[in-house]
Structure 1
Amino acid sequence: MHTVELLPDEQLEAGVRHLWSLLAAAGLPSLATHPHPTNRPHLTMITAESLQGLSPLRLPVAAELGRVRILGRALVREVTPTAELRALQTAIWTSLTAANPWPPPPDFVPHVSLALKITETAHDEALHLLADLPPARGSFVAARSYNSQTRTVTEL
């Protein structure tokens, strides 16, 4: 599988990495401890069997990171689903329909991951630690794709 991921500007990236560090320092699950060299804050727009037909991405896109919440088994920081961000995700999805892209536009929940596979016992502590964060504003300034078979990244 291949992803299309948006990368935040330096300030937003530093802010997410700071949250990763806070979680790790508290002994909680955190992407700060993820050892893969491609690990960095990002917003996954879509996953697909291939990227053949991908339209050029119009960047930068304004970004606002909001509250921290649990999404499935992940601890995430919400990304405000602006009209511009939703239009970009729809354009990506539409250009890749032959490659079985996911999620379709109505199911897109924009977020930046802070921790994966967080246990139920760590939920409350992590949410309390990161409660009441002010919104973080900036831009998504670049894009990349992660290939899950080769575990490599390609700049888009």
Structure 2
Amino acid sequence: MRSIELVLDPDAERAVRAAWEALVAADLPSMGRHTSETNAPHVTLTAGETLVVPSGFDAPLPPSIRPAGLLLFPAGPGRHVLGVSVVVDRPLAAFHEAVHRAAPGGVDTSLPGRWAPHLTLARRPRDVDLPRMLEVLSSVALPETLGVAGVRHWDGETTTVTPVS
């Protein structure tokens, strides 16, 4: 799978990583346990098997995003993905559409009108862990806005990241 992702500025990345680390410190599932060099807080704009690295976009990169509430996606029996939803304001919606014009072929759930932007906190935690995870995360507040640093193309087959300007 390939994806095109918004990446955060250093302050915003530190804030999300603090939430990851709070979960790790409580011995709970967390993206903070993934030690790959390419593991960084991000918002996936599109994902698909054949996405190319775009040469650019016909809409401006939003300078920031606004985190909202926690959300869950099903991830198999007794499991979910836990994330922080992101508000889709006009600048983010326009940029998201521009990404799809520059790199068509995204899966249905990443298309405009179907997309649920989020910052992943943990993949596949057990449902029984969710109450404790919520308790831990209630003590780690994210800022009202998170700065955006740029865009990257992730290729899961080669595990490479390519910055996109």
Structure 1-normalised TM-score? 0.88
Residue matched to 2:114: 107
Q: What do the CA deviations read for 1:36-85 (whole angstroms, capped 9, x no partner)? A: 22111111100133344836143243211122232222110111111111
How many residues end up aligned between the 2 structures?
A: 154
54-63 vs 38-47, greater mean Cα deviation: 54-63
50-59 vs 27-36, greater mean Cα deviation: 50-59
- Counterpart Cα distance in 2 of 1:141 and 1:34: 21
Residue matched to 2:150: 142
Contact 2:85–2:119 (Cα < 8 Å) also in 1: yes
Residue matched to 2:77: none
Residue matched to 2:163: 155
Contact 1:60–1:142 (Cα < 8 Å) also in 2: no
- Counterpart Cα distance in 2 of 1:153 and 1:62: 21
AA aligned opposite 2:159: R
Structure 1 runs not aligned, ≥5 long: none
What secondary structure does 2:65 align onto? strand
- Counterpart Cα distance in 2 of 1:122 and 1:83: 35
Tell me how far 1:28 sits from its aligned partner.
0.6
- Counterpart Cα distance in 2 of 1:66 and 1:11: 18
Instruction: Name the % identity.
Output: 28
Structure 2-normalised TM-score? 0.84
The 1:37–1:116 alpha-carbon spacing in structure 2 relative to 1, beyond 3 Å, is same
Residue matched to 1:18: 18
Pick the aligned partner of 1:86 from 81, 87, 93. 93
Structure 2 runs not aligned, ≥5 long: 75-79
AA aligned opposite 1:38: T
